[in-house]
Amino acid sequence: MDPYHLVRPKDADEPPHILIYEDGNDTALCSLNVFATPQHYILCFSATLLYLQQLVNEFQDTNSLEAKLQVLANLVNFAYDPINYEFLRQLKVLDLFLDQLSEDDISLVRFSLAGLCNLCLDAENKDYIIHSGGVRLVTGCLSSVDEETVLNAITTLMYLVTPLSKSDITSAQVIECMLRFSTSRNARLRNLAMIFLEDYCLPEEVDAVKNTQSQFVAIGNIPLPQVDED
């Protein structure tokens, strides 16, 4: 008998559990990332990796958009906890998220960007995302018509700022977008764009964009996300 197997709860909002077999007779039930006793640590850790591998396999094998979205939602939940970062790197979940940013489906992009937004708080993840062309991909999400996608894109860009990436993240193109968003009647979008401009851009960089008429014309081609205005 395998040392453990997955036990899915009836409540869809409750995380899956691992049923651990100690010696073939006694059993112990522990939730993912919550270890009942020290001797269960390795088994639960291995079970988490197994479950994540199953999620990745399901995403790659299914043709169902609904199934892909469910998998992404689960992976995003795991991306909240730093204890899972090594597993997610090992299973190339960062690449999976990055690949979805070029998809046409709004929900695929939204969920994947939310996952990257969580993961890029870690220095190793941040470096990997930057060197994998993540800044360009995330910047492309600024033109989304989905509010949450745009908000996550702005937040992710702020998290990705390093001496190496700063010039790309505060490029004239991005500043154009932020100036446009800073005039939005949507408070969340307006406030976040203003924080970006004030905290991550030099005043002279912002002024240069403001004073370039051709750049302001280009702004008109960038649609604001469709949101409920405050």
Domain ranges of the chain: 1-61, 73-168, 170-223
Look at residue 211 in the predicted model and tell me its pLDDT.
87
Q: Give the pLDDT confidence of 23-37 residue by residue, as tens digits.
A: 343 333 344 444 444
Q: What is the pTM of this model?
A: 0.75
pLDDT on residue 226: 63
pLDDT of residue 224: 61
pLDDT in tens, 187-208: 999 999 999 999 999 999 999 9
CA angle 165, 166, 170 (to 5 degrees): 125
Q: Are 152 and 196 in contact (CB under 8 A)?
A: no
**Phi, psi values for residue 28, rounded to 5°:** -140, 135
The pLDDT assigned to 76 comes to 94
Please tell me the predicted confidence (pLDDT) of residue 185: 92
Positive or negative: CA dihedral 125, 127, 133, 136: positive
pLDDT at 17: 41
- Write down the architecture of domain 73-168 according to CATH: Alpha Horseshoe (1.25)
Which segments of 62-144 does DSSP mark as H helices, in order? 65-79, 85-90, 93-100, 106-119, 123-131, 134-140
Ranges of the chain with pLDDT below 50: 1-10, 12, 14-43, 213, 215-220
The pLDDT of residue 227: 56
The C-alpha atoms of residue 44 and residue 128 are separated, in whole angstroms, by: 27
pLDDT at 78: 92
What DSSP state is assigned to residue 76?
Answer: H
